[in-house]
Structure 1
Amino acid sequence: MDRQRAQDTIEKLRRQLEEHNYRYYVMDDPAISDTEYDQLMQRLIALEEEHPDLVTPDSPSQRVGGEPLPFFEKVEHAIPMLSLGNAFSFEQLKEFDQRIRKTTERESIDYVCELKIDGLAVSIRYEEGFMVRGATRGDGRVGENITSNLKTIRSLPLRLKEPVTLEVRGEAFLPKKEFERINRVKEERGEVPFANPRNAAAGSLRQLDPKLAAERALDAFLYGVGEIKGKEVPTTHTASLEMLTRLGLKVNPDRVTVKGIDDVMDYVDYWREHRLDLGYEIDGIVIKVDDLALREELGSTAKSPRWAIAYKFPAEEGVTVLRDIVINVGRTGAVTPTAVLDPVSLAGTTVRRASLHNEDFIREKGIRLGDHVIVRKAGDIIPEVVGVLEDQRTGKERTYEMPSECPECGSELVRLEGEVALRCINPQCPAQTREGIIHFVSRGAMNIEGLGEKVVSQLFKEELVRGPADLYDLREEDLLPLERMGKKSVENLVAAIEASKKNSVERLLFGLGIRFVGSKGAQVLARHFGDIHAIMGAEREALEAVDEIGPKMAESIVAYFENPEVKATIQRLEASGVNMTYRGPVASSKAEDSPFTGKTVVLTGTLESMSRKDAGTRVEELGGRVTNSVSSNTDFLVAGEKAGSKLKKAQEMGVKVVGEEEFLSMLGE
């Protein structure tokens, strides 16, 4: 492909990818599948690698971040980012409204009400439509340049829909589900979890390696304009937000424009009750005068605008007494201390237990048994102890010492090098086994529907299950006596257990809970080795030779399968009929001299001799790669009857086209 054609294709791909980013991350209305999106991205990356001089900072391929930065540069905001005054009651909101009406001599004011996102305030500058800089709020006048990190947020366009120069303000945040995922990973690694999504978002954006920010699914809402050039300035805040939406920026849809303070209070009341329904954290409501000319008239103090105020929801913190500390053992053996509390009402629920994270956290906070402690619950996140009221101590409080032995099995607890958490390293520990079973049956692993945490706990209590293999010995008569297990439920559960035997082996690998082996790693292993016995017999060097399998994972796999108990479990599972082989496509020994080896193939139309799925499997068995779309990387297209647009595109691009008869000949049939 010559340079001009490559440049045109690259530009077209960039527009397509940005449009799909906008539809997926801003409009929540995806037009293509993740696989198709990935194919577009890979095609763009391939072309940019062929023509590195055509790579530009606004390319979607550049979102992953560059090299780590030595420090953050300082950035001066074109217009200061002032902080808002706070209101903690409706009386204070009424006083705010009275001051404005008195100053402006108006009977009623139009206000815009917006959700106050609990994240990190940012300012982003676009010049001629291109993102050129992003910064933190800092002290309001000078912030830190975090452009590389902000570019990793896919809801922020690298190029606007119009060539406008403006500085836009917003809030970067971490959705609840992503926050929970990150903390699960941190706890499994023995690291201290983030205290809340706000800290996690700030920690992700205010670190020097953009690749770390790219690993986290941050999001952002834009809520205001600091400066604008090259476009007519709107006259109201409502019009400003509509303009940002037209430019392709993500604006929170749960905003309203109302007349008068009574409607403002109704909006506050609604979200005070429904805030937990959101997929992100909010800590209040922002109320702004809508008329921009009126804002100019009202002006600002040195710190805050007079035309806006933030209503802060009542703090979701409470004070209670810490009566005891109990130890929970997870499936990886990590030991987590949990506070047992006098009941306290938080966020509409009664809290009796709260996380203490780990031994270092207890020591750093100086927590003692009998202390009056501050407990926080943000949204649907597990409650946590955040502080101690030392001035309320009576002298009867007692220092807590972490146990040296596992509370479940009595084995010695150890702290592995580089980790914060204590661990029970006894593979027969019942707590680890129970948690391991819950993981084994989960949707991402063996996917046994009906085997939830409560049912698994009952099975353990009745001593019906002590390991994964025991699940396949269960009969209806074993399950019927369990609580809330009727005949139909039992029949469905037995059927689900039986059906799980047919899973491809990567599900089993992931379900076994081998440390550092996630679902993707399990799939890589299964596809490369073909069956579990080959993986069990592989030496560390052979494992490390596989793409995406690093030294730590390889060492963990070898150590896991050296355990005699693990080998016995695999034997029992296999004897029960659980599949031990990879049932996806895998290259055969014939792939070395196959016409498909190393080739990229597209299948289209209807084949008489086999389905397209089977044809794709055969191609991959012979060393080929099947994709869904024709591109410059396509080696040939297999065209069956009623081939449509893909055939036309292949012919236009000069891609080789083969019919079904020739395809069968290439397969050796």
Structure 2
Amino acid sequence: MRHDGRFSEDAQFRVMSDAPSLFDGPQGPTPSDRQRAEELRREIARHDVLYYVEARPTISDREYDRLFAELTDLELRFPELHTADSPTQRVGGAPITSFVTVEHRIPMLSLGNTYSRAELDDFDRKVRQGAEGASVDYVCELKVDGVAISLTYENGVLVRAVTRGDGERGDDVTENVRTIRSIPLTLQPLTVGGQNVNSVEVRGEIYLRDDDFLDINTAMIERGEKPYANPRNLTAGTLKQKNPKEVANRPLRFVAYWLDVEPYRTVIRTHYEALAVLHDLGFPTGDNHHLCSTIDEVASFIDQWESRRDTLPYAIDGIVIKVNEFRLQNELGFVARAPRWAIAYKYEARKAQTVLLDISLQVGRTGVVTPVAELQPVLLAGSTISRSTLHNEDFVRELDLRIGDTVVVEKGGDVIPKITAFLPTQRPPNAQPWSMPHVCPCDRKSELHRPPGEANWYCDDAGCPWQVRRKLEHFASRDAMDIDGLGERAIDQFVSAELLHTIADIYRLPQRRDDILSLERWAPKSVDRLIEGIETSKLQPY
């Protein structure tokens, strides 16, 4: 298996070719087999730490694959050698029918946000008032833009992984999280102040690197599926996949930022010490946290990373600042479900300038017709922006947008692109005010109407192919029936070929196999995948 979590061809070949024959005799493992399996588990775990935590791998991917394949072979031949914490468990188990809701032992609360130096100074003033003259240190950490997770270990073994949810309770996604290679299945042995640190709760962020996000989205687009808007949404969607094997194919990563120190409060007294303990237990904690003794040092750290954040291989949306000493954290307490001892400094949305080339119309599944800005492609916060919703006719008029304008594009929260203004000095002299067309952009050219008191225009033609497509896309989407192989491109083809008119037609597609094979880009394997996806969708819970 490559360090990015996906099997190399060499590893796949070795696992399959070395599998035991059905005619092998029922011989049990020898003592040397048992010893070798344990050695391999320890060795693979050690290399995972070297790669994900220390960032200094000592063997090649091919050598790692050979170790992994040897362990897989032993466990296939001798199932009794299999253990719950084996690295082979990262390949993913059987599909999950549903996620169990679990109450957090300690609520996963939100942080308060701050956006200016004045607000940062106000936070510092309140902390120092609460400290009553005692010295105050802060720990600054990059705020990775991912999905928060709680990990519970008992006797050194991962037993539960729960999403943040509403802060009080979340979903048990343990089987999916086991596939993430930067999350240890077993903790590294560690003694602090004479106490074994082996039963703990750890919290952190699961995320995707930008290049991995782009690779996954590109593959989805090529399959005709709707891509995700940003790495965080893709991470969240992956964690809610019901098939852990699918999760194992996506290179999710983890960074730890919190340790429940209550059982060890006499020996772990500061957050900075807790981060060191997390590192020694085998968790990646990031290389960029910093201990500051003044708020000026905190501000300097914030400014430094605002100018450097585009150099990171993953998205951050700010800096988290925490009071270092746990005793002072406890004294400061909480207010309105947020700690008084921590705050998030959020960076401003990234901005770019580009040209508004055209305004097109998009028809949704409910008939709402939305204007969309067609932009000269521009790079913004790590992605290329070429389109942006304009919401409705009133929005366009309020901003006085005209085709040919140079516009300002922002990524709100570094996620969704939006147009916030135009540059009057760069407006072409012949630019004309835009008005909403009164006919549908589809071939049927049905009349549009705007109900009194509403901002939206509607197409009421039930036969509008755009509406048909959107309804079918919604039904087949990952948030609905999750039909593998039936993405936007496939639906567009089938509607154009008159194979799909209604949702019921989806379940008639297996009988139209020859018709599908006659279409461009369809082969027997892709048709089989589609039919399997349709049949699987019948098992979706109500």
Aligned to 1:183: 217
Aligned to 1:135: 162
Aligned to 2:441: 401
**In 2, distance between residues paired with 1:378 and 1:43?**
48
Q: 1:87 touches 1:310 (CA, 8 Å); kept in 2?
A: yes
RMSD (Å) for aligned C-alpha atoms: 4.0
Q: Deviations over 1:570-604 (max 9, x none)?
A: xxxxxxxxxxxxxxxxxxxxxxxxxxxxxxxxxxx
Q: Deviations over 1:306-355 (max 9, x none)?
A: 1000001112368999541589xxxxxxxxx9943499996599x9x524
* Displacement after TM superposition at 1:375 (Å): 4.6
Q: TM-score, normalised by structure 1?
A: 0.54
Within-5 A mapping of 1:500-579: 551-552=525-526
Q: Which residue identity does 1:226 align to in structure 2?
A: D
Correspondent of 1:220 among 254, 271, 282? 254
1:167 equivalent to 2:167? Answer no
Within-5 A mapping of 1:11-410: 11-106=38-133, 108-162=135-189, 164-227=198-261, 229=263, 233-316=267-350, 322-324=356-358, 339-341=373-375, 354-355=386-387, 375-377=409-411, 385=417, 396-398=435-437, 401=441
* Displacement after TM superposition at 1:286 (Å): 0.2
**In 2, distance between residues paired with 1:113 and 1:385?**
28
Q: 1:238 touches 1:257 (CA, 8 Å); kept in 2?
A: yes
**In 2, distance between residues paired with 1:227 and 1:82?**
17
**In 1, distance between residues paired with 2:135 and 2:243?**
50
**In 2, distance between residues paired with 1:83 and 1:555?**
42
**In 1, distance between residues paired with 2:152 and 2:416?**
38
- Cα 1:228–1:37 change in 2 (3 A) is farther
**In 2, distance between residues paired with 1:142 and 1:554?**
40
Higher relative contact order (CA 8 A, sep 6+): 2
Q: Does the residue aligned with 2:339 lie in a helix, a strand or coil?
A: coil
* Displacement after TM superposition at 1:387 (Å): 8.4
**In 2, distance between residues paired with 1:226 and 1:127?**
13
Q: 1:338 touches 1:354 (CA, 8 Å); kept in 2?
A: no
Q: Deviations over 1:358-401 (max 9, x none)?
A: xxxx7x9668995759955489x9x9645899xxxx87234783
Q: Which residue identity does 1:292 align to in structure 2?
A: F
Q: Which residue identity does 2:526 align to in structure 1?
A: K
Correspondent of 1:419 among 475, 481, 487? 487
- Cα 1:216–1:6 change in 2 (3 A) is same
**In 2, distance between residues paired with 1:218 and 1:40?**
22
User: How many equivalent residue pairs?
Assistant: 405
- Give ranges in structure 2 of 5+ residues lacking alignment: 1-27, 190-196, 362-370, 402-407, 422-432, 445-465, 474-484, 494-519, 531-542
**In 2, distance between residues paired with 1:291 and 1:316?**
34
Q: Which residue identity does 1:99 align to in structure 2?
A: K
Q: Deviations over 1:428-471 (max 9, x none)?
A: xxxxxxxxxxxxxxxxxxxxxxxxxxxxxxxxxxxxxxxxxxxx
- Cα 1:103–1:395 change in 2 (3 A) is same
- Cα 1:133–1:176 change in 2 (3 A) is same
**In 2, distance between residues paired with 1:155 and 1:84?**
25
* Displacement after TM superposition at 1:94 (Å): 0.2
**In 1, distance between residues paired with 2:31 and 2:168?**
44
Q: 2:225 touches 2:486 (CA, 8 Å); kept in 1?
A: no
**In 1, distance between residues paired with 2:486 and 2:177?**
30
Q: Which residue identity does 2:119 align to in structure 1?
A: Q
- Give ranges in structure 1 of 5+ residues lacking alignment: 328-336, 357-361, 405-412, 426-513, 517-539, 541-549, 557-669
**In 2, distance between residues paired with 1:555 and 1:109?**
60
Q: 1:281 touches 1:378 (CA, 8 Å); kept in 2?
A: no
Within-5 A mapping of 1:611-650: none
* Displacement after TM superposition at 1:280 (Å): 0.4
- Cα 1:366–1:420 change in 2 (3 A) is farther
**In 2, distance between residues paired with 1:272 and 1:262?**
15
Q: Deviations over 1:40-96 (max 9, x none)?
A: 111111111122122122100001221121111122222221110110111000000
Q: Which of these two proteins has the greater Rg computed from alpha carbons?
A: 1
**In 2, distance between residues paired with 1:119 and 1:166?**
22
* Displacement after TM superposition at 1:25 (Å): 2.0
Q: TM-score, normalised by structure 2?
A: 0.66
Q: 1:83 touches 1:304 (CA, 8 Å); kept in 2?
A: yes
Q: Does the residue aligned with 2:314 lie in a helix, a strand or coil?
A: coil
**In 1, distance between residues paired with 2:64 and 2:527?**
29
Q: 2:226 touches 2:487 (CA, 8 Å); kept in 1?
A: no
**In 2, distance between residues paired with 1:66 and 1:348?**
34
**In 2, distance between residues paired with 1:3 and 1:76?**
44
Q: 2:221 touches 2:227 (CA, 8 Å); kept in 1?
A: yes
**In 1, distance between residues paired with 2:380 and 2:61?**
39
Q: Which residue identity does 1:418 align to in structure 2?
A: L
- Cα 1:143–1:423 change in 2 (3 A) is closer
**In 2, distance between residues paired with 1:348 and 1:418?**
29
Q: Deviations over 1:181-214 (max 9, x none)?
A: 0110111111111101111111111222212211
- Cα 1:348–1:245 change in 2 (3 A) is closer
**In 2, distance between residues paired with 1:10 and 1:231?**
37
Q: 2:208 touches 2:235 (CA, 8 Å); kept in 1?
A: yes
**In 1, distance between residues paired with 2:114 and 2:122?**
10
**In 2, distance between residues paired with 1:18 and 1:232?**
30
Correspondent of 1:9 among 21, 36, 43? 36
**In 2, distance between residues paired with 1:103 and 1:230?**
24
**In 2, distance between residues paired with 1:148 and 1:554?**
28
Q: 1:123 touches 1:169 (CA, 8 Å); kept in 2?
A: yes
Percent of pairs identical after alignment? Answer: 41
Aligned to 1:475: none
Q: Does the residue aligned with 2:334 lie in a helix, a strand or coil?
A: coil
- Cα 1:323–1:369 change in 2 (3 A) is farther
Aligned to 2:516: none
Q: 2:158 touches 2:185 (CA, 8 Å); kept in 1?
A: yes
* Displacement after TM superposition at 1:32 (Å): 1.1
